[in-house]
Amino acid sequence: MSDTAQQSHRNQTRRRALIGVAAVVAIGAIVWGAYWLSYARYFEGTDDAYVSGDVVAVTAREPGTVLALHADNTQWVNRGQLLVELDPANADIALQSAEADLAHTVRAVGALFAKADESRAQIAQATAQLNQARSDYARRTLAVTDGAVSQEDLTHAGDALATAKASLQAAQSQLEQTLLQIRGTTVATNPDVLAAEARLRNIALSLDYMRIVAPVDGEIAQRTVQLGEQIAAGTPLMAVVPLDDAWIDANFKEVQLKRMRIGQPVDVTADMYGSGVVFHGRVVGLSAGSGSAFALLPPQNASGNWIKIVQRVPVRIALDPRELKEHPLRVGLSVSATVDVRDQSGSLVAAQVRKIQPVAEPSDNGNRADSLIARIVAANSTTPSPR
């Protein structure tokens, strides 16, 4: 075969190969175009997504010395479980002082009620003495004209009458002064007793704060407190992370948000478990601004060398609690999220407000303090009726 024939054959072979490659590319483009038009264009995805969750700080409300630690990092705790015990010695002493102060106040108020009764008796006695002094003065006034009584006796009777009037006024003033402190109240409702009860409740509450419990169910993290450490009020001791209530913050480009709606389904895969484990969630909200807007030094776009940069906005995705229980996630893990935007019936993402989390239950120390107060008041008073 001549060189010309060989060259022609190679050209034909190359041409056939190029045609085949072009055909494959064209078919691939057609297939991809059909796939995108029929399916892929209805999904928005990003791998700039991370696991988020509440990090509930456990802090000391009262100063004290750590006597015992009942939880450590990576340990799961239940709501109300004891975490840290502080030395209650000072609080016990303060509580005993508050109990004695309440008992003293109850007795003092009870004495005021008794003093009011005593003042009434003194008024009755002073009234009788005044009536007798008036009678004596009247008799001596009649007798002095007949010479049966001297002028000096009449003067003494007048002095006795004035003294009786003054004694009655003093008794009435003493009663009024006492009634100003107890009028319209009983021992239990007297302002002095209520103030003493409030002081006792405050001390009892401080004693209750010597036992620090978990505010929510979750896993212990960031434990910094040590046994025997002297801590001040407000000192962070550890954190409780409720992993069963974790969510995803997926940072989508702003151009991807046009078709996102509340309630759209989301598939999430975590690097921790790989693509074999898929979490199913729902879009529940959109951040109030992009990440750069809340930066410590936000960008100033009014400069002359401004260049437009596509921003990313965090979209909150709620996960299925059952799947989280089977495959727990950790705060800060990287994930990939894909949102199915075919359903456009929901509201815009920015219009949805996240449901507020329930508050922790208050301490039941108030009931214990009320029982203690009732016992002290009953033991130190006769509960007289209001006057």
Tell me the pLDDT tens digit for each residue of 220-243: 999 999 999 999 999 999 999 998
User: Bigger pLDDT: 386 or 150?
Assistant: 150
Does residue 119 lie within any of the structural domains?
Answer: yes
Same domain, 146 and 178: yes
pLDDT at residue 361, as a whole number:
55
360: left (phi over 0), alpha (psi -120 to 50) or beta: beta
Report the number of distinct structural domains present in the chain. Answer: 2
Does residue 112 lie within any of the structural domains?
Answer: yes
Report d(CA 369, CA 207) in Å as an integer. Answer: 11
Same domain, 160 and 230: no
Same domain, 85 and 212: yes
pLDDT at residue 365, as a whole number:
55
Residue span of the structural domain in which 213 resides = 56-89+207-241
Report d(CA 238, CA 59) in Å as an integer. Answer: 7
What confidence tier does 367 reach under pLDDT thresholds 50, 70, 90?
low
Same domain, 179 and 132: yes
Q: What is the CATH number of the domain that holds 60?
A: 2.40.50.100
- pTM (whole model) above 0.85: no
pLDDT exceeds cutoff 90 at 356: no
Same domain, 162 and 222: no
- How far is residue 338 from each of residues 43, 47, 209, 281, measured CA to CA in Å? 6, 9, 46, 10
Same domain, 102 and 181: yes
- State pLDDT tens for residues 268-319: 999 899 989 999 999 988 877 776 666 666 766 666 666 777 888 889 999 9
pLDDT at residue 238, as a whole number:
95
Do the beta carbons of residue 320 and residue 245 sit within 8 Å? no
Same domain, 124 and 167: yes
Same domain, 176 and 107: yes
Query: Helices 89-146 and 365-379: crossing angle, nearest 10°?
Result: 30
Residues paired with 65 in a beta bridge: 230
